[in-house]
C-alpha cells in the first residue's frame, strides 16, 4: 500500500510538472506594422441623420407627394446617367458624386413608399454597371480615385439595403441579376444564377471572424470569403476555396450552399480583357488549375495572409494565384490595413501581412463585372447587425482593448492541439485548425465570447429602438447602439 502511494505521488508530481511546463506562455511576438495609408472615413454623420429625418417625415406624407418627389429625382438620375455614359470620364468629374447624392436622396422616400422599390433597384443596377464600366479607365491606386469608387459602389449598396430592410414586409427575390457578362466557359445554375467556370464568388459567413475579415480593412466591406468555381465537362460545379479549419478544399455546389452564408456576389472577369479576348477559355483554365492543385496536394491555410508565398493559401489567394498562372493579376489595388487596433487583433490569429488581398476589395477591381448578388431576406438584418457590432469592437481595439485568454486552460488545450496535429498528419482536420496554436485558439474563444456578448446586448437595444420608433434602426443608429453595448 505504501509503495502504491509513492507511485501515485510520483505520478501526481510528474503531472504537476508537466502542467506547469505547459503553462509557459508562447514567446511574445510583435503585432506588426500597419500599412501607411489612412483608412477611409465617411465623416457624414449629420447627413445620415438628415436622411433618417426625411424617412420619418415621408412616413406621414400623402403618397402623391412622395411619388412626385421620387419621379423628379429619378428623372434627374436618368439624365445624369445618360450624360455620364457618353464618353469615358475621370473619377474626379463632379457628376459621379451627384449621381450618388441623388441616389441617397431617393432612398428614404422609396423606403417610405415601397411601390417604387423595383424601379429603385433597376436604377441601382444601371448606375453600378456604368461605374464598373467607367472604372476601367481609372487608376484606382490613387487614393482620391479609390475613395470615389468605394463611395459609389459601397454607398449605393448601403442605401439599397436600407430600403430593403425598411420594406421587408414586402417580399423581394433573393437574387438580383446585375449584368449579363458574356463567357464561353462551361456553365451551370447556382441558386437561380447562371455561373461559369472561372467565376469568383465572394460571400459573407455568419461567424464572428467573418465580420472581422469583412470590416477589418481600410475600406470596410460586406464580404469575408472568396471561392473559385470550376465547372467540368458534365456541367457539374465545384467550389475551390480555402478554409481556416482544413486549408484548400473542394466543395460541391450543394455543400457550398449549405455552408452558412448571409450573402454572396458573383464576379466575372470582363470579356473584353486582352488576355480573355485572346483566350476566351482562360477563366475555365484558371479554375481547372486551382481544382487540380487542390486534388494533387494538401495546401494549408495561410494565416499570415502573404499572397506572395503560394506554399499556403488563404481564400483570396486561391483565386489570385490561379489567375496569376494564366497571366491575369487580380486585385489591381491591394488591400491595406492601417488601423493599429485592427492590426493588433488580426495578429492574435497569425496575420503578419497588412498589405494583402481582402475579399471585399475584389469588387472594386475594374477587371471584374458584377454578374449577380444573392441576399437572403431573413439574414440581411443579421448581416447589418454583425457589421455594426464588429465596427464597434474595432473602435474599442483602436482605444487599446486587447484579446486575452484563460491562462489556466493552456495546458489541456496544448494537449488537444497535439492530438489535432496527429489528425493532420493523417489528412484529417482537428478541432484546432492546422497552423493555429493553442494560445491563438484560446484567444479566438475569448474573441467569440466578447463578440456574442456585445451582439446580444445590441439586439436588446435594437428591440427597444423598434418599439419606440416603429422601424428598424438604419445603420448609423445600429452602430450607435452597438457602440453603447461595446462600451458598457
Q: pLDDT over 70 for what percent of the chain?
A: 95
Residue 383: what pLDDT?
A: 94
Question: Residue 188 pLDDT more than 90?
Answer: yes
Beta carbons of 301 and 243 less than 8 angstroms apart: yes
- The predicted model gives 481-488 an average pLDDT of 92
- The predicted model gives 366-390 an average pLDDT of 93
Residue 24: what pLDDT?
A: 73
Q: Is 115 helix (H, G, I), strand (E, B) or coil?
A: helix
Helices 380-398 and 208-215 cross at an angle (nearest 10°) of 70
Which own/partner pairs from 72-79 qualify as long-range (CB within 8 Å, at least 24 positions apart)?
A: 73/102, 73/105, 73/106, 73/109, 74/106, 74/116, 74/119, 74/123, 76/102, 77/102, 77/103, 77/106, 77/123, 77/127, 78/123
Query: Pick from 134, 289, 305: which is nearest to 217 by CA?
Result: 305
Residue 11: what pLDDT?
A: 64
Cell numbers of 61, please? 406624407
- The predicted model gives 394-421 an average pLDDT of 91
- The predicted model gives 31-57 an average pLDDT of 90
User: DSSP string of 388-423?
Assistant: HHHHHHHHHHHTT------GGGHHHHHHHHHHHHHH
**Which of 83-92, 138-147, 166-175, 197-206 shows the lowest mean pLDDT across its residues?**
166-175
Question: Residue 247 pLDDT more than 70?
Answer: yes
- For 274, phi then psi, to 5°, come to -50, -40
Residue 352: what pLDDT?
A: 93
Residue 10: what pLDDT?
A: 63
CA distances from 424 to 170, 300, 305 (A): 49, 10, 21
Pure H helices in 113-248 = 117-134, 143-166, 208-215
Quote the CA–CA distance of 348 and 115 in Å, as a whole number. Answer: 48
pLDDT tens per residue, range 1-36: 666 666 666 666 666 676 666 667 777 766 677 888
Residue 4: what pLDDT?
A: 65
**Which of 84-88, 339-343, 371-375, 422-426 shows the lowest mean pLDDT across its residues?**
422-426
Residue 6: what pLDDT?
A: 67
Name the burial class of residue 260, with classes exposed (0-12), middle (13-18) and buried (19+) by CB atoms within 10 angstroms of its CB. Answer: exposed
Which own/partner pairs from 137-145 qualify as long-range (CB within 8 Å, at least 24 positions apart)?
A: 137/88, 137/90, 138/90, 138/91, 138/366, 140/332, 140/333, 140/364, 140/366, 141/332, 141/333, 143/37, 144/91, 144/92, 145/91, 145/92
Query: Pick from 228, 267, 264, 237: which is nearest to 371 by CA?
Result: 267
Residue 382: what pLDDT?
A: 92
- The predicted model gives 30-48 an average pLDDT of 86
Residue 270: what pLDDT?
A: 95
Query: Pick from 448, 204, 218, 488: which is nearest to 348 by CA?
Result: 448
Band of the pLDDT at 265, cuts 50, 70, 90? very high
Amino acid at each position: 500500500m505504501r509503495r502504491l502511494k509513492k507511485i501515485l505521488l510520483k505520478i501526481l508530481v510528474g503531472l504537476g510538472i508537466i502542467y506547469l511546463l505547459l503553462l509557459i506562455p508562447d514567446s511574445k511576438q510583435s503585432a506588426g506594422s500597419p500599412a501607411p495609408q489612412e483608412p477611409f472615413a465617411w465623416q457624414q454623420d449629420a447627413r445620415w441623420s438628415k436622411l433618417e429625418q426625411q424617412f420619418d417625415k415621408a412616413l406621414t406624407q400623402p403618397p402623391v407627394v412622395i411619388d412626385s418627389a421620387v419621379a423628379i429625382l429619378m428623372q434627374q438620375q436618368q439624365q445624369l446617367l445618360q450624360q455620364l455614359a457618353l464618353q469615358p470620364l475621370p473619377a474626379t468629374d463632379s457628376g459621379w458624386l451627384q449621381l450618388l447624392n441623388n441616389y441617397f436622396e431617393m432612398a428614404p422616400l422609396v423606403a417610405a413608399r415601397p411601390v417604387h422599390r423595383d424601379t429603385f433597384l433597376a436604377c441601382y443596377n444601371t448606375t453600378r454597371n456604368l461605374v464598373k464600366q467607367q472604372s476601367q479607365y481609372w487608376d484606382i491606386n490613387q487614393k482620391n480615385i479609390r475613395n470615389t469608387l468605394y463611395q459609389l459602389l459601397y454607398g449605393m449598396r448601403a442605401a439599397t439595403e436600407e430600403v430593403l430592410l425598411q420594406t421587408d414586409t414586402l417580399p423581394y427575390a433573393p437574387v438580383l441579376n446585375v449584368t449579363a457578362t458574356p463567357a464561353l466557359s462551361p456553365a451551370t445554375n447556382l441558386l437561380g444564377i447562371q455561373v461559369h467556370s472561372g467565376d469568383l464568388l465572394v460571400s459573407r459567413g455568419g461567424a464572428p471572424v467573418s465580420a472581422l475579415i469583412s470590416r477589418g480593412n481600410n475600406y470596410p466591406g460586406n464580404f469575408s470569403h472568396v471561392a473559385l468555381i470550376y465547372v467540368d465537362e458534365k456541367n457539374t460545379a465545384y467550389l475551390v476555396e480555402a478554409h481556416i479549419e482544413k486549408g484548400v478544399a473542394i466543395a460541391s455546389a450543394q455543400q457550398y450552399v449549405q455552408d452558412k452564408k448571409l450573402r454572396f456576389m458573383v464576379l466575372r472577369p470582363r470579356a473584353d480583357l486582352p488576355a480573355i479576348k485572346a483566350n476566351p477559355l482562360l477563366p475555365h483554365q484558371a479554375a481547372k488549375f486551382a481544382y487540380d492543385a487542390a486534388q494533387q496536394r494538401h495546401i494549408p491555410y495561410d494565416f499570415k495572409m502573404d499572397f506572395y508565398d503560394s506554399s499556403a493559401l488563404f481564400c483570396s489567394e486561391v483565386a489570385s494565384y490561379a489567375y496569376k498562372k494564366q497571366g491575369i493579376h487580380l486585385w489591381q489595388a491591394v488591400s491595406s490595413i492601417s488601423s493599429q487596433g485592427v492590426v493588433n487583433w488580426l495578429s492574435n490569429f497569425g496575420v503578419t501581412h497588412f498589405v494583402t488581398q481582402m475579399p471585399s476589395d475584389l469588387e472594386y477591381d475594374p477587371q471584374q463585372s458584377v454578374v449577380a448578388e444573392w441576399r437572403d431576406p431573413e439574414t440581411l438584418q443579421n448581416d447589418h447587425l454583425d457589421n455594426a457590432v464588429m465596427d464597434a469592437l474595432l473602435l474599442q481595439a483602436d482605444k487599446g482593448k486587447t484579446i486575452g485568454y484563460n491562462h489556466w486552460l493552456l495546458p489541456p488545450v496544448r494537449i488537444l492541439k497535439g492530438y489535432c496535429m496527429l489528425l493532420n498528419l493523417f489528412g484529417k482536420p482537428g478541432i484546432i485548425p492546422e497552423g493555429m496554436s493553442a494560445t491563438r485558439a484560446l484567444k479566438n474563444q475569448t474573441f467569440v465570447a466578447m463578440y456574442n456578448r456585445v451582439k446580444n446586448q445590441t439586439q436588446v437595444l435594437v428591440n427597444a429602438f423598434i418599439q419606440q420608433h416603429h422601424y428598424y434602426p438604419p445603420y448609423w443608429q445600429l452602430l450607435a447602439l452597438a457602440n453603447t453595448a461595446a462600451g458598457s
